[in-house]
Every structure is written in structure tokens, then in C-alpha cells.
A and B are shown apart, each in its own frame.
Chain A
Amino acid sequence: MAIVGRHPWRTATVHILLILGIVLLCFPLYLTFVGSTLTRQEVLQVPMSLMPGDQFLENYKRALFRGTNAPVLGMLWNSLVMAMGIAIGKIVISLLSAYAIVYFRFPFRMLCFWTIFMTLMLPVEVRILPTYEIAAKLGLLNSYTGLILPLIASATATFLFRQFFMTVPDELVEAARMDGAGPIRFFKDILLPLSRTNIAALFVILFIYGWNQFLWPLLITTDPSMNTIVMGIKQTVPQADDFADWPLTMATSVMAIIPPVLVVLLMQRLFIKGLVDSEK
């Protein structure tokens, strides 16, 4: 609609509607921020102020170093370890297996492929109880390994790298072979550098996926010192209004939201690429 059908008042309406949409979409988060800057009494006052208060430092300090069951600082660290572990782990095992499946012929190649591919189908939520039992049997409760390993058993990333490898020209392999480079050299010096953007885009998506996990950490970490922030927040929510410490809950929420949001905003291009790629 660039050339025709453009009136100044229509353009203005469009902008107003878009701004209205942004305000609506962002209002819940604004309110969360406001809640995190008020005193407990101020939050319980009905109706709550819609302007930020002066308790910002106070509330965030209280959350970071004391929290409800565990200090938020520790939970942030656990979340970071989990998100990084899931993102890096998934990328590494997927790169390797995709490389084997695309560039080699070996017995049972198809069986391997389908075994991996089948995991695409089952989100952890579906097989939650038996997975938990197995993790318990292997002694993985309350450990980083337990938080990370079961969640990197997914084939999305493998599939993605496979798709990308298929677009890499065959001539590159031939050239590498003529230069006497073996499969490991080819992978390290040619394929890996070519996959850089894909790896980065996938990393952004997987980091958000790992950071935002809720059900799995809820089951596998019974020790408060191993809680991640997204699951730990549930325990700060008051059951009865009398004991409510909403400012603490809201400050924790804000801190849980900031890292993945920063990743989206700072790496917007990679984020969009990753999102579009992983849904193909």
C-alpha cells in the first residue's frame, strides 16, 4: 500500500492503534515493575498506585540476598547454568550427529536417524513421570546434570543442522578431500565456520527455552539452593493475602524476565532467524 490509498488521517489512525497495542501488551509488565518498587503496604492498598515508588533498591536487595526460600542471586546463577548448559549441550550433540548422518554412510544410519527424529514428537511434559523416576534412579535429583541432560534429548536442533548441511555445496567436500583433509579437518575448518550464523541463531532460541523451563526444575530440584528463578518464583507467591510480600515476588519476576528479554532485544536479528528456522 505504498503508493495508493494513503491519507494522512488514516496513517495517523494506524500509528495510534499500534501504540495502543503496544501499551496494552506492555501494561502487565509495567505493572509488575511498579509493584516491585512499592512497600508491602502500598501494594495492598486498593487501588494500587500506577506510579513507581521509591523502594526499588530496598526490594531488589531483599530479593537478591534473602528471597523467600533461597536468595534470588543463587537462583539466577542456577538458571544461567541451566540455560547455558541446555543451549550449548544441544548445539554440540546436534552438530555432531547431524554431521554423521549427512556426511557418512554407515550401518544402521537410518535407524539412528529415526531414533533421534522420534524425539521431536515428545515434549518433556508428556513423559514427565517416568523421566523423573529415571532421573531419580540415576541419582540426578538436585544436580545441574539432572536439570540439563534430560532436556537436551530433543531432535529439533539436529534436524535444523541437517537442513543446513544439505545446502552446503558438495564441491567443498571434494575440494577438501583433494587437499588431503579428513572428515575431522573438514568439519572443523570448513563446516563449523559456515554454520556460525545458524549456531548463533539457535543459541538465542535455546537459551530462552532453557531459561524459561518450569515443570522440570520444579520436579527435580527439591533443595531450595538448586531452584531456578522461573520455578522458584512460585514459592514466593503468597497463599494468603495477609502474608503477602508482593513487592518481593514482583522484583523476582522482573529479574527473571530481564535476561531473556535482553537476549531478544540485543540479538533481534539472530532471534528472528532462529525462530523462523526452528519452525521450518
Chain B
Amino acid sequence: MLFAAIAMQKKVYFRGTWLPWLLVAPQLIITGVFFMWPAVQAVMQSTQLPDPFGLSSQYVGMENFQFLLNDSTYLESFATTALFSVSVTLMAMVPALFFAVLADSVIKGSGLYRTFLIWPYAVAPAIAGIVWLFMFNPSIGVASYYLKFLGVKWNHVLDGDQAMLLVVLAAAWKQVSYNFLFFLAGLQAIPKSLIEAATIDGASPWHRFRTITLPLLSPTTFFLLVVNIIYAFFDTFGVIHTITLGGPERDTSILVYKVFADGFVGQDLGSSAAQSVILMVLVGALTVVQFRYIEKKVHY
């Protein structure tokens, strides 16, 4: 079992009663104050309904959850999040794989290519949002100007589909670097002799890629799938907040954004807390999937 493996300890160890406690204390205190306490608070608030003046609140059981699950805007937000994260994952992984295969095949300059392809990783999601907003600004953006010649009237402020496309592009853009790095490492770990043998047998490059490279790369691919979905779910708040503020009409309001919008802007504390709790369960599930992956790797 993986969990047993994680909890494993050294056979040789030190004795001590107060020292180990002193060592874990800082981490435990911070975890307690900024993790356990807020988590408990979220669960408690999710079962309460504050009065309109915010002076007191009463216990309402599962009402906030029931309300959410019957709320069409919440269910829409689920659909929006699904569309957004699948698109971001695809847009970030497919080009990354393409460029990684290319970079892996060159003999000279692959290090230089790597340097140039990885640095957008360091750009914050919020800054990525600003940069793409500048390019696609409906009135002054360079991209929206040239799109006119292709017959596209770009206005993501009014057009929900265009808004979605823009936040997907901005969110996927910086993640390409990350995926590229992992795909390249995965490719470089594949023994060249396998591919050479297949070449001698007369397999075409595409055939070699499909039957040798891709299957051998599948652990990397699976790992990146999970990481990219987690990224799209939680780390893209800055992109949404700088480009669309969840609009137009909530068309780009993903779950994490809705927790913020309902809690801080809408001041609907009970609902926001219930949404937090649902998200915590979702993260938990995703983390278990991720551990499954580690477990697999441990047993290799």
C-alpha cells in the first residue's frame, strides 16, 4: 500500500521527547491556524444562513447545498469549468508534445530551444491575462485588428464564446512550457535503440511515434493530464479576474471564480462556504487520482 509506504520511517532513529515536538511545532501551528480552522469554518458556515444584516446566522442543515444543486447558475458553472479545463489541458498539452518531439529529434541546439520554450512558465497567470487582454483588446488590440481581415469581428467583452476562447488561450499559453519540459524529459528517457530497431524494420516516423513513443510516454501523459486539470481548476483565477471578471453574463465563471464572486462580491457567505466544501471534496478526489499515479510509479 502506498499510504503505508509514505508513513514509513527510518530503522535507525533518535530518542527524544521534547525535541521532535519542538521541530514539528511551527508547521503544526501554521497548519492548524490557516488550514484546519478555515476548513472547519467553511464546513460550519455551509450549514448556516446569515441574516440580511450579517449580525447573526441560523442553522439550516443541508439547505445551502440543496439550494446550490437546484441553482441553474451553479450547474452552469460546473459545465463552464468542465469545458474550460478540458480545453486548457488540450491546448497546453498537444502543442507541448509536438514541440517536445521536435526538440528531442534535433542534435544541435536542443538546449537552446529548451531555454527559449520554458521561460513563459515564470509568467504569473494574472500577468498572462493582462498580456493577452492587451493583444485582444476589441478596440486597440493587435490581434483583434488583424482578425478583422479574416472576417472575424473580435469582441470578447460581449461575445461569450470569444471570451471563453481568450481565457483558454491565456491560461494554456504559459502551461505549454511546463508540459514541454516534462514531455521532453519523458522522450529523452526512451531508449533510442528501440526506435532505431523499428526504423530498420521499415516503420514510418508516424508509425514509430504511434506504436513506440506514445505508449512509452503514457505515464508522463497521464501525470500531466492530472496536473493540467488541477491547474485549470485552481490556478487560473488570475487569468479570469484580469480578462473577463467571469463575464460576459457568467460565461467564463468557473467554480473557483464563483466562490470568490459569491463570497466577496455577492456577500452570500453560506452559499460561498458550501461551494468551498464541494470544491474541497473535488480536490480530495483529484489528489487521490494523483496518488494512484505515484503508487503506480512506486511499483514500476
Contacts and interface: CB of A to CB of B under 8 A. Distances in A.
B117 interface: yes
Contacts of A260: 122-124
A240 B134 CA distance: 13
A126 B126 contact: no
Given A5-B199, A127-B280, A214-B238, A105 B31 contact: no
B267 to A, nearest CB: 10
A153 to B, nearest CB: 4
B142 A112 contact: no
A122 B256 contact: no
B34 A150 contact: yes
Interface stretch (B38-46, B55-63, B67-75, B79-87): B38-46
B103 A215 contact: no
B78 interface: no
Interface in A45-80: 46-48, 50
A155 to B, nearest CB: 8
Interface string A73-100: 0000000000000000000111011011
How big is the B interface, by class? 35 or more
A143 to B, nearest CB: 14
A280 B133 CA distance: 34
A104 B205 CA distance: 54
Nearest to A92: B26
B214 interface: no
B184 to A, nearest CB: 10
B146 interface: yes
Contacts of B42: 127, 129-130
Q: Chain B's interface: helix, strand, loop or mixed, by majority?
A: helix
Given A26-B120, A256-B124, A275-B181, A126 B34 contact: no
A48 B142 contact: yes
Interface of A: 1-5, 11, 14-15, 17-18, 21-22, 25-26, 28-29, 31-32, 35, 43-44, 46-48, 50, 92-94, 96-97, 99-106, 109-110, 112-113, 115-123, 125-131, 133-135, 138, 149-150, 152-153, 155, 158, 165-166, 170, 173-174, 182-184, 186, 208, 211-215, 218-219, 230-231, 233-234, 237, 241, 244, 246, 249-250, 253, 256-257, 260-261, 263-265, 268, 271-272, 275-276, 279-280
Given A2-B196, A18-B102, A48-B145, 14 more contacts: A1-B195, A15-B109, A28-B131, A31-B134, A96-B27, A97-B24, A130-B42, A135-B34, A138-B33, A149-B34, A183-B16, A214-B126, A230-B124, A279-B227
14 contacts: A22-B117, A25-B120, A28-B128, A28-B132, A47-B146, A102-B9, A115-B32, A126-B279, A127-B39, A153-B34, A211-B124, A244-B140, A261-B122, A280-B294
